[in-house]
Structure 1
Amino acid sequence: MKVLIADDDQISRMITKAAVEQSGHECLVAVDGDQAWELFKLHRPEAVVTDLMMPGLNGLDLCRSIRGAEDDSYTYVILVTSHGSRDDVLAGMEAGADDYVTKPLDPFNLRIRLLAAQRITSLHADLARYRSALSEQARRDPLTKLHNRLKLTEDLGELHSRGYLGNYCLAMVDVDNFKSYNDLYGHQAGDSALVSIAATLAGEVRESDGVYRFGGEEFLLVLRGQTPEGAGVVMERVRSAVHSLQIEHSGDPDGVLTISAGLAAYTDEHRAGIEELLKEADLALYAAKASGRNRVRVASSLTTE
């Protein structure tokens, strides 16, 4: 465990440092509250042992600063007081301290509190990992392992909230005649086909692009930095790769599962909102379906026809 000591008294620092190191922990030392705060931001220690009264930030202000800076991590704060008055202890706890010890410091008492600190911070680290895993799970489609619509909404919202100035394209993708495939081969085969197609979509685009399961047999791709022409080339490659899987489908004119795609573009000339772009991509997909399936259509080309 990494422990930060903040104390303006040299003897107290030496005693505290010895107790921390004898407990097997890594030690950082600050001679005042301002230095302690800088060391905290740089190293993010699991525990802080801070004097109540010292130059710069005092112990209470340091506690408040630490609590205000925490996100998924947790720092266990032990306040050191000169006389352990009830008012000092209460003020420390209200400022965010977890425990306190009094001067002159008893190394045994500090080591006991560091054991508690290690247990508490370990539990918080476990909880942070669980929260992260649950958050990721909530944003993944359980079948295909692609990101889902929740993640898509967040990513597109972030893209637009940052005032993104570059081009990007949305590609709405649908598996052709998938209902008849499920009817002929069963839902288990249908699920297996979706997994294969999802892996192909993800494998044919760049890591910076996004691939999402939009729902059912529909997928959506976010192609960053692409013009409609460039995105069209990408999607033709994707369409061809899915066709090359040769997933047999006797109910399709091609004899295999294929995909159709509709493209919409966010460009300097077309600063459309998210909903408008999704609608344009959907209309382009409908046009691809209506013109024979197993093809890619671009929304901007529909207005010129």
Structure 2
Amino acid sequence: MKVLIADDDLISRMITKAAVEQAGHDCVVAVDGDEAWELYQVHQPGAVVTDLMMPGLNGLDLCRAIRESEDDSYTYLILVTSHGSRDDVLAGMEAGADDYVTKPLDPFNLRIRLLAAQRITSLHADLARYRSALTEQARTDPLTKLHNRLKLTEDLAELQDRTEPHDFCLAMVDVDNFKSYNDLYGHPAGDAALVAIASTLAGAVRETDGVYRFGGEEFLLLLHGQDADGAEGVMERIRSAVHALQIEHTGDPDGVLTISAGVASYAEGHRSGTEQLLKDADLALYAAKASGRNRVTVASRSSFPN
């Protein structure tokens, strides 16, 4: 574990540093509170052993600054006081400290507290990983492993909240005649087909783009930095790639599973809200279906309000 020591007294720093290193931990040393805060931001230590009274930020201010800056991480804070008075200890705990030791420092007492620090920070790290996994799970479609509609809603909101407009296109995708495919081949085969198509969609776009399962056999692509013509080209390549999978479907005129897509553009001159963009993409998809399926249709620019 990396331990930051903050103390303006040379002898105290040396004793603390020796105790920390004898306990098998790495040391970062600061001679005052301001330097400690700078080193904390650079090294993100697992524990901080800080003197109460120092030039610059004192121990209480340092504790408060660290607690306010933490997100998923957790730093174990040990306050060093000269007298261990109740008022000092209480003030330290209220400022965010986890424990305290008194001067002159007893290396054994500090080592015990560092053992506790390792356990607590390890638990917090595990909880952070679990939270991250749950957050990802909540935004992932369990079948296709694509993003789901919750993640789409968040990503679109982030785009709309940008101060500077960001060009992008939405492409609504639907698997053609999928109900009849399920009727003919069964739902397990239908699930396998959706997984194969989802993999093709995800593999055909850039890492900066987004691919989402919109629901059932519908998918949605968020294509960053694309105008309508560029997005149409991308979707034509994807349509061809899905056709090339050659997933047999005797109930389809083409004899294989195909997709149709509708594209809507958010660009200069037609920056409508995300709800309208989704409607435009859906209408374009409907037009593609009505025109015979297995094709890409771009929403008419006249449908976008200025």
Question: If the length of structure 2 is used for normalisation, what is the TM-score?
Answer: 0.97
Q: Can you list the C-alpha shifts for 1:117-138, whole angstroms capped at 9, x where unaligned?
A: 0110011111111111111111
- Aligned counterpart, 2:217: 217
Rounded Cα–Cα distance in structure 2 between residues aligned with 1:164 and 1:58? 41
The residue correspondences of 1:175-190 to structure 2 (distance < 5 A) are 175-190=175-190
Q: Distance in 1 between matches of 2:96 and 2:238?
A: 54
Contact 2:270 2:301 in 1 (8 A): no
Written as runs of structure 1 = structure 2, the 5 A alignment for 1:1-305 is 1-300=1-300
**Deviation at residue 302 of structure 1 after TM alignment:** 7.8
Contact 2:52 2:80 in 1 (8 A): yes
CA contact (8 A) 1:6 1:30 kept: yes
Q: C-alpha displacement at 1:165, in angstroms?
A: 2.5
Q: Deviations over 1:173-209 (max 9, x none)?
A: 0001101111111000000000000001111111111
Is the CA contact (8 Å cut-off) linking 1:243 and 1:257 kept in structure 2? yes
* AA in 2 matched with 1:224: H
Tell me the CA shift for residue 301 of structure 1. 6.1
The alpha carbon displacement at 1:163 in A equals 3.0
Cα distance in structure 2, aligned partners of 1:302 and 1:88: 70
SS in 2 for 1:101: strand
Given residue 14 of structure 2, which amino acid in structure 1 is its aligned partner?
A: M
Question: Structure 2: which 5+ residue stretches go unaligned?
Answer: none
Counterpart Cα distance in 1 of 2:112 and 2:223: 55
> Are 1:284 and 1:302, in contact at CA under 8 Å, matched by a contact in 2?
no
Shift of 1:168: 1.0
Give the partner amino acid of 2:212. Y
Give the SS at the match of 2:272.
coil
Letter in 2 for 1:37: W
Structure 1 stretches of 4+ moved >4 Å:
none
After superposition, what is the alpha-carbon deviation per residue over 1:181-239, rounded to whole angstroms, capped at 9, x for unaligned? Answer: 11111000000000000001111111111110000000000111111111111111100
How far off is 1:164 after superposition?
Answer: 4.4
Please give the per-residue CA displacement for 1:92-111, whole angstroms capped at 9, x wherever unaligned.
Answer: 10110000000000000000
CA distance in 1, matches of 2:218, 2:200: 14
Structure 1: which amino acid aligns with 2:143?
A: L
CA distance in 2, matches of 1:273, 1:164: 15
CA distance in 2, matches of 1:225, 1:8: 53
Contact 2:228/2:263, CA 8 A, preserved across alignment: yes
Opposite residue 116 of structure 1, the aligned amino acid is: A
Whether contact under 8 Å (2:180, 2:251) holds in the other structure is yes
Distance 2:139 2:174 in 1: 21
Residue identity (%): 82
Q: 1:97 to 1:301 in 2, by over 3 A?
A: closer
Gap regions ≥5 residues in structure 1: none
What letter corresponds to residue 141 of structure 2 in structure 1? D
The 8 Å contact of residues 159 and 166 in structure 2, kept in 1 or not, is answered as no
- Counterpart residue identity of residue 276, structure 1: Q
Residues of 1 paired with 2:77 and 2:267: CA distance? 51
- In structure 1, give the amino acid aligned to 2:121: T
Name the SS for the 1:263 alignment partner: strand
Deviation of the 1:166 alpha carbon = 3.4
The alignment of Structure 1 onto Structure 2 pairs a total of residues equal to 304
Partner SS, residue 72 of structure 1: coil
Residues 301 and 105 of structure 1: CA distance in aligned 2, closer, same or farther (over 3 Å): closer
Output the CA distance in 2 between the equivalents of 1:161 and 1:254.
43
1:143-166 deviations in Å (ceiling 9; x for gaps) = 000011111111111112113423
Q: Which amino acid aligns with 2:119?
A: R
CA separation in 1, counterparts of 2:148 and 2:199? 14
Q: Secondary structure at the match of 2:201?
A: helix
Conserved? CA contact 1:63–1:95, under 8 Å: yes
